[in-house]
Amino acid sequence: MIAGYRGASTTRRRSRDTIFPMGIEKLWTKSRNDRLVDPVIQADLDAEWERVKQSLDHLGDRAKATCAAIIYNTVARPLVPIRHRRTSEFAPAKQMIAGAVDSTTKTLALVTHVLSTSGRATKYGVRRALVI
């Protein structure tokens, strides 16, 4: 053992314990626990959680709509003759008929539901049914 080591350590601990009688670690833990149950902080935390959840859900919904539009525009849009009201020219491919994605999603929801309930989902690579 190194001479004087034990004594020095004990002295340091004693002086710290004089300033913080309950021990500094316990004091920190206490203040942290006090903050965790503080209703104002808890309310702020809840509000932030709610904001983030809504933001993430919004991002997810937007991505779903975009992906549905991308797939729809490639596989089904060429089959839909859309004409401009005045010129009777075909509309550009970017333009989608109103409700096309909705109809597509509803069709898929019904089909995946039928596949799932009849036990054929795995065969067609459907992992779960869409829920409308």
Q: Where does this chain bind other proteins (CB under 8 A)?
A: 28, 32, 36, 41, 44-45, 48-49, 51-53, 55-57, 59-60, 63-64, 66-80, 93-94, 103-112, 124-128, 130, 132
Q: 6 vs 106, which CB is nearer to other proteins?
A: 106
Closest distance of CB 31 from other proteins, Å: 8
Contact 88, 64 (CB under 8 A): no
Which alpha helices (DSSP H) does the chain contain, by range?
5-19, 24-37, 39-75, 100-117
Closest distance of CB 86 from other proteins, Å: 24
Q: 10 vs 50, which CB is nearer to other proteins?
A: 50
CA dist., res. 81 & res. 97, Å (int): 9
Q: 91 vs 111, which CB is nearer to other proteins?
A: 111
Closest distance of CB 17 from other proteins, Å: 21
Sequence-distant (≥ 6) Cβ neighbours of residue 121 within 8 angstroms: 112, 115, 127, 128, 129
Hey, what amino acid is at 72? Y
Closest distance of CB 101 from other proteins, Å: 10
Q: Which of 100, 14, 89 is nearest to 65 (CA)?
A: 100
Q: 17 vs 38, which CB is nearer to other proteins?
A: 38
CA dist., res. 45 & res. 52, Å (int): 11
